[in-house]
Amino acid sequence: MLIDNEVQYTASDCLASGGTAESCGVDRAAALDPVDPALAASAHLPSVTLLDLTDSLCRQDVCRVIEGNVLVYRDDDHLTTTYVRTLTPELGRQLGPATGWW
């Protein structure tokens, strides 16, 4: 569905139309490639450590549009600022060991 000739999807529009956190979400299998494309891209870069926030964005079967009363997606390609702020503990947990900074 194309909205305004630019944005294909907005979670808030889906929710405003009566959808739920799950019905407006996307199946995890459809949202993610079966193989992380970053693995191949970084394979020749031994100093690169990949961080994986997938489980913070998606549940086992679905990537919901609301988590903990926070809207996750601004549109089909962007997270909301508020939701990104909720990811900072997990990002910090992964970033410390990846960088050796803490």
Return left, alpha or beta for 100; rule: phi > 0 is left, psi -120 to 50 is alpha, else beta. left
40 Cβ contact partners less than 8 Å away, ≥ 6 residues apart: none
Structure confidence by residue, pLDDT tens digits, 28-79: 999 999 999 999 999 999 999 999 999 999 999 999 999 999 999 988 788 9
Q: What pLDDT is recorded for position 36?
A: 92
Structure confidence by residue, pLDDT tens digits, 80-100: 999 999 999 999 999 999 998
Q: Is the pLDDT of residue 10 over 90?
A: no
Sign of CA dihedral 4, 5, 7, 13: positive
Domain map (residue ranges) of the chain:
11-99
7: pLDDT confidence band, cut at 50, 70 and 90? low
